[in-house]
Amino acid sequence: MKITLKDGTIKEYAESRAVIDVAREISEGLARAACAGEVDGEVVDLRTVLDKDCTLQILTARDEAGLRVLRHTCSHVLAEAVKNLFPDAKLTIGPAIDTGYYYDFDAAPFSREDLDRIEKEMKKIIKKGAKLEKFTLPREEAIQFMEERGESYKVELIQDLPKGEEISFYRQGEFVDLCAGPHLMSTKGIKAFKLTSSSGAYWRGDSDKAMLQRIYGSAFATKEELEAYLQHLEDIKKRDHNKLGREMELFTTVDVIGQGLPLLMPKGAKMIQTLQRWIEDEEDNNWGYIRTKTPLMAKSDLYKISGHWDHYQEGMFVLGDEKKDKEVFALRPMTCPFQYYVYKASQKSYRDLPLRYGETSTLFRNEDSGEMHGLTRVRQFTISEGHLIVRPDQMVEEFKGCLALAKKCLTTLGVEEDVTYHLSKWDPDNREKYIGEPEVWNQTEQHIREILQELEIPFVEDIGEAAFYGPKVDINARNVYGKEDTMITVQWDALLAEQFDMYYIDQNGEKVRPYIIHRTSIGCYERTLAWLIEKYAGMFPTWLCPEQVRVLPISDKYLDYAKKVHGQLKENGILSTVDERAEKIGYKIREARIAKVPYMLVVGEKEEAEGKVAVRSRFLGDEGQKELQEFIDAVCREIRTKEIRAVQVQEQK
């Protein structure tokens, strides 16, 4: 038997060997650090016996796959600790994830004090150093085994597996869990871990099923790595838009108004207004869009034509009951069916196309309560929605144009490096979810694939993420916690024109079905605002700031001059305020820094006498005295060009 190691070394054996034995032969140090093996590309237990020629890499916690094995083992230790302290808790699932691991329990909510107790219990378990031992049972015996332990969720998981399947378990001392592995050799391999938080989570992600209690944790090879990660968590908490956006008074939520219905405060509303005016002007003046304004609701008849009633009704807010009401309405979840009737209001010739309809649309989607989060997942939102009605021969170029517009928006906001592109495809094994024939789907997906390849845009392909009427490009970004959200979408639709009997007259006088592109240029304004809060930690580019300059009089004697400066700033379109409080200037400067205002203008006797201002900024700190008009010209240029300046970090301490 020949075993080829990572460095190309070949080891020959006359008899079979366990992975851990090979690791020991290489070095005792490697064996002590080993978490798992990778055999012919598959991650396996160190206990796995090698009995034929293969490639082998010994994985430690320095390897991503090895670290996941360590974290998965830590999730089992967590489960054992919870069962020790809360015997009535029911086990569900506990996987390793990119940031650590979690385990879901059917139990009462866990407090921070509970997590601290669980951590202490975990340390005791780890200190005992129980070996993790794998064993298997036939499916029916496995069901009985878990029924006897009262673990109903595990029973359900086993029942979902095929009949005749051998079911694997791992034992550590008296604790046993259903698991495919792999795992560490013993619990002593866990050197540094921490439970970070707890939250609610639905069983199998289904809001119709039981609400469980999820405990999150992380684990690393060393305490130093763990401490660095915990510090990172503290840092990202400061950027969390749900926290920072409230502290900056950009938005708030109120229980009596409802979950997923945020209130934009004056500063947040000003930022959305700035974004909206920019996008509308950009689309209309530079990309050939024409504005529409359509109703916020419609009869169910409209959504039955579009297919939303059959494919999307559970995500809609329906007003009325079809069984007893003559007319049933629904708040709109998207604008496309409305804009189709703008198109159909008059006959169109091939010369009229493409038509690019743009609308700043308020939409409503009945999201699950467990999905609500700040501004990123809401039930009412505003979107830069657009629909392009095009001839088939125009489709590719217009689709490229939509991607170019999206890229320009991302570049202007300074977030173009933070996104990933996804080709969202249909799932041919789930035909009920989609309309249209397979040939249409395959052709349109291939068109999009070729466009992305031609534009040299790296992308991944996601099966089952298409809209029910067509594939799309989703431009996604991660929030500070690593969760990915779709920011911008461009969809290829070769089907809905048929549903709505849309046509144009071609050069031969024949009726022809157009194609449709559904797209956003900046996406949902609320979600974009959340993204920008986290991207810039609240220190937005000056052009986006709801307060761009704060004028700080040294004392009340210079208040009139401060107001004069403020007036000139306003005349030039600069968003400014005056701090009129009878406070010391040092305090006013600190308050302006906390408020993340880009520029502070300190004015006193000398500034008033010379018609100047003393400039302090987030970018260069103390910039000294400047002529007021010189400062105004520079800031106006910065706002006009939408410049993104680097922040001087020490000024924010």
- Residue 565 is encoded by which pair of tokens? 């400066």
Q: What does the alpha-carbon distance between residue 262 and residue 241 come to, in Å, rounded to a whole number? A: 13
Task: Give the model's pLDDT for residue 650.
Answer: 44
Q: How many CB atoms lie within 10 A of CB 428?
A: 12
Measured distance between the N- and C-terminal CA atoms of the chain, rounded to whole angstroms:
62
Q: Which residues contact 97 (CB under 8 A, 6 or more apart)?
A: 71
User: What is the mean pLDDT of the segment spanning 537-548?
Assistant: 96
Query: Rg (Cα) of the chain, in Å, rounded?
Result: 30
Q: Which residues contact 416 (CB under 8 A, 6 or more apart)?
A: 407, 410
Would you list the DSSP string of 376-422? TB-SEEEEEEEEEEE-GGGHHHHHHHHHHHHHHHHHHHT-GGGEEEE
Q: What confidence category does residue 164 fall into, taking pLDDT thresholds of 50, 70 and 90?
A: confident
- pLDDT > 70 fraction of the chain, expressed in percent and rounded: 99
Chain-centre distance for alpha carbon 11: 46
H-run or E-run covering 18: strand 17-18
Q: What confidence category does residue 651 fall into, taking pLDDT thresholds of 50, 70 and 90?
A: very low
Q: Is 653 a residue whose pLDDT tops 50?
A: no
Q: Which amino acid is it at 361?
A: S
Task: Give the model's pLDDT for residue 163.
Answer: 87
Q: Is 364 a residue whose pLDDT tops 80?
A: yes
Reported as a single tens digit per residue, the pLDDT across 423-448 is 999 999 888 888 888 999 999 999 99
Task: Give the model's pLDDT for residue 306.
Answer: 87
In this structure, are residues 297 and 319 in contact, taking their beta carbons and an 8 Å threshold? yes
Reported as a single tens digit per residue, the pLDDT across 316-356 is 999 998 788 889 999 999 999 999 999 999 999 999 999 99
- Helix, strand or coil for residue 617? strand
Is the N-terminal amide bond of 438 cis, ω within 30° of 0?
no
Q: Is 377 a residue whose pLDDT tops 70?
A: yes
Q: What does the alpha-carbon distance between residue 397 and residue 287 come to, in Å, rounded to a whole number? A: 13
Q: What does the alpha-carbon distance between residue 63 and residue 249 come to, in Å, rounded to a whole number? A: 43
- Helix, strand or coil for residue 43? strand
Q: Which residues contact 284 (CB under 8 A, 6 or more apart)?
A: 290, 291, 358
Q: What does the alpha-carbon distance between residue 375 and residue 355 come to, in Å, rounded to a whole number? A: 32
Q: What does the alpha-carbon distance between residue 220 and residue 233 come to, in Å, rounded to a whole number? A: 14
The pTM of the full predicted model, rounded to 2 decimals, is: 0.81
Is the N-terminal amide bond of 514 cis, ω within 30° of 0?
no
Higher-confidence residue of 206 and 29: namely 29
Q: Is 643 a residue whose pLDDT tops 70?
A: yes
Angle 27-33-34 from CA coordinates, rounded to 5°: 85
Q: Is 311 a residue whose pLDDT tops 90?
A: no
Q: What does the alpha-carbon distance between residue 31 and residue 24 come to, in Å, rounded to a whole number? A: 5
Q: Is 585 a residue whose pLDDT tops 70?
A: yes
Task: Give the model's pLDDT for residue 648.
Answer: 67
Q: Is 539 a residue whose pLDDT tops 90?
A: yes
